[in-house]
Amino acid sequence: MLETLARWSMLSVAHVLTGVRGVTTTPLPSKPCVYFGNHVSHGDFALIWAVLPSAQRARTRPVAGADYWEKGPLRRYVGRKVVRAVLIEREREQRNEDPIAQMSAVLAGGENLILFPEGTRNLTDDVLLPFKSGLYHLGRSNPGLPLVPVWIDNLHRVLPKGELIPIPLLCTLHFGAPIEVGEGEDKPTFLARAREALLAQRPAHLVEAS
Amino acid sequence: MSTTLTLFLGIFVVLGFASSVALILRLTVAKGRPHAVIDNLFDRINAWWVMVALVALAFAFGKSGVIVLFALLSLLALREFVTLTYTRRSDHLALAMAFYVALPMQYALIAIDWYGMYSIFIPVYGFLFLPIISALRADTTRFLDRIAAVQWALMLAVFCLSHVPALVTLQIPGFEGREILLIAFLVIVVQSSDVLQYVWGKLFGKHKVAPSLSPSKTWEGLIGGVLSSTLLGAGLWWITPFTPLQAAGIAFSINLMGFFGGLVMSAIKRDHGVKDWGHLIAGHGGVLDRLDSVLFSAPVFFHIVRYGFTP
């Protein structure tokens, strides 16, 4: 009950503050898939949620760092109950569970994932940080898994790091055609291809400006 | 009040006629199948019904109604403008001030009718103080581009647009209590000029005015649209303090300003590689796509009336 209310408030704020809109060129996959996007803010996944059809939204869970979301009772509540995050341990030494197995189990259960392959929020001037290898390993352990690139445009300007007041700029999510890890494709080749697929979703005026 | 009612009844009749024509076109030309131009025409007319209903609602609340309506439109227009332009993290505070201080302040100054301040607040104080805020962050990358974008955004989306509700503060002898009709005159004349330019252009358009800026603007559309909406303006003299001849002259000036406003705003859009400012109004684009002509005509109309018709 409380979770439903919290989710509803979160989505309402996302809609009113950013007027978020999803742009798709191909239909979203009907089988379980992974949405992977650029990570600029804690609100990223809320925007993806906000534009997904409600039936999809209920079956789509963000992958997030356990170190961040296990800190304190409020974060734990939001992370586990409100957004139903799949919490993975980012530091290899502290792992009890294999993150790829965790994520594959969720997909096997018929749910979608939201993944930010940069591994952390990009607070630099670079357009996109190097990808971590999780997306590759996940795609390899689940052959045929559709990986949908989602470029999140403008959210970093709504509330940049270190600022207190959000400003109501318009955000747009650009969904690209799904990609898969090819048979026998090696890690660097795939990660470069995935990165290109995500960058290709940027609107033309941003590509020229940068 | 009866003038306002007559006016809105007239607008409803015109929109009803437009909807009927669109329906007939859908049945005869499109034969119920999808048809890009006719479907877009339907979207546009339906959006007009919503926009007219919103204006009618604001008018029902009088002066405060139109001030609130245009403050909200300024907010939507400002976000569309800033979204498209280049700013950096160092401009965040300046932008927050634009949204949360300059915008409400401008409309509050209009509400208390402080002409001496609202006519210089953004052009002078905004112009001087916002770059100071950005400069204090010591980030010089494309500095002039960034502060110019913020200033332009405020000037167009807030300063220019606020001259529409400011019309109700004008004290015209013999016209007391009917000032809100000046807004109706401005909006009807300028918007119908846009619509009539579109209609004339679609029917007879051949020679493009500025093909690199706007492929849909033709000389046939421009001349036919501006002249016919000038006639419409003259025909609306009875809702204004103007004589029919004055109404025609004023309508002609604001129609030209409106046309050039559309041209300037198109230049900014083309420069940024987009077709529309936003997606809020189905068939039209963003709020700025619908208001571009009003932005340029409102301050000119305001000052013509202020210098020509108030003591």
Residue A207 pLDDT: 64
d(CA A58, CA A112) in angstroms, rounded, equals 9
pLDDT beyond 60 at A34? yes
Residue A177 pLDDT: 96
pLDDT classification of A47: cutoffs 50, 70, 90: very high
- Is B255 part of the contact surface with chain A (CB cutoff 8 Å)? no
| Secondary structure of residue B140 in the 3-state scheme | coil
**Among B93, B96, B273, whose Cβ lies nearest the Cβ of A205?**
B273
- Which chain B residues are within 8 Å of A161, Cβ to Cβ? 89
Closest CA to B256 of B228, B233, B226, B234: B226
Helices (H), B61-119: 62-84, 92-97, 103-111, 115-118
Residue B182 pLDDT: 97
Asked if the Cβ–Cβ distance from B89 to A165 is below 8 Å, we say: no
Q: How far is CA A168 from the centre of its chain?
A: 21
Q: In chain B, whose CA is at the least distance from the CA of A204? A: B273
- Which chain A residues are within 8 Å of B99, Cβ to Cβ? 167-168
Low-confidence residues of chain B, pLDDT below 70? 1
- Is B279 part of the contact surface with chain A (CB cutoff 8 Å)? yes
Residue A67 pLDDT: 87
Give the minimum alpha-carbon distance from B96 to chain A in angstroms, rounded to a whole number: 6
| Secondary structure of residue B310 in the 3-state scheme | coil
Asked if the Cβ–Cβ distance from A154 to B93 is below 8 Å, we say: no
Residue B275 pLDDT: 87
pLDDT digits (tens, 9 = 90+) for A67-99: 888 888 999 999 999 999 999 988 888 788 899
Give the minimum alpha-carbon distance from B277 to chain A in angstroms, rounded to a whole number: 11
Two structure tokens written together for A42: 């804690």
**B182: number of CA atoms within 13 Å, CB side?**
30
More confident residue, B24 or A161: B24
Residue B264 pLDDT: 95
Give the minimum alpha-carbon distance from B273 to chain A in angstroms, rounded to a whole number: 5
Q: Are the CB atoms for A7 and A46 separated by under 8 Å?
A: no
**Among B96, B274, B280, whose Cβ lies nearest the Cβ of A205?**
B274
pLDDT classification of A206: cutoffs 50, 70, 90: low
Residue A13 pLDDT: 94
Q: In chain A, whose CA is at the least distance from the CA of B277? A: A170
pLDDT beyond 70 at A208? no
For chain A, what is the HEC assignment?
Answer: CHHHHHHHHHHHHHHHHHCCEEEECCCCCCCCCEEEECCCCCCHHHHHHHHCCHHHHCCEEEEEEHHHHCCCHHHHHHHHHHCCCEEECCCHHHCCCCHHHHHHHHHHCCCEEEECCCCCCCCCCCCCCCCCCHHHHHHHHCCCCCEEEEEEECHHHHCCCCCCCCCCCCCEEEECCCECCCCCCCHHHHHHHHHHHHHCCCCHHHHHHC
Residue type for position A67: D
- Which chain A residues are within 8 Å of B272, Cβ to Cβ? 205
Q: Select from B73, B89, B103, B276 the residue whose CB has the most chain A CBs within 10 Å, as the one to mutate to test that interface.
A: B89
Crossing angle for the helix pair B287-309 and B244-271, nearest 10 degrees? 140
pLDDT digits (tens, 9 = 90+) for A167-184: 999 999 999 999 999 999
Angle (CA) A172-B144-B77 rounded to 5° is 40
Two structure tokens written together for B31: 């034969």
d(CA B194, CA B213) in angstroms, rounded, equals 16
pLDDT digits (tens, 9 = 90+) for A105-154: 999 999 999 999 998 888 888 889 999 999 999 999 999 999 999 999 99
Residue B37 pLDDT: 85
Q: Select from B80, B92, B146, B268 the residue whose CB has the most chain A CBs within 10 Å, as the one to mutate to test that interface.
A: B92
Two structure tokens written together for B310: 């108030």
| Secondary structure of residue B281 in the 3-state scheme | strand
Residue B210 pLDDT: 86
Complex prediction ipTM: 0.88
Q: In chain A, whose CA is at the least distance from the CA of B78? A: A169
Two structure tokens written together for A192: 């470069």
**Among B80, B89, B272, whose Cβ lies nearest the Cβ of A160?**
B89
Q: Are the CB atoms for A40 and A152 separated by under 8 Å?
A: yes
Q: Select from A155, A170, A173 the residue whose CB has the most chain B CBs within 10 Å, as the one to mutate to test that interface.
A: A170
pLDDT classification of A100: cutoffs 50, 70, 90: very high
Q: What are phi and psi of A174, to 5 degrees?
A: -105, 110
Residue A90 pLDDT: 81
Burial B181-206 (b: 16+ CB within 10 A, else e): bbbbbbbbbbbbbbbbbbbbbeeebe
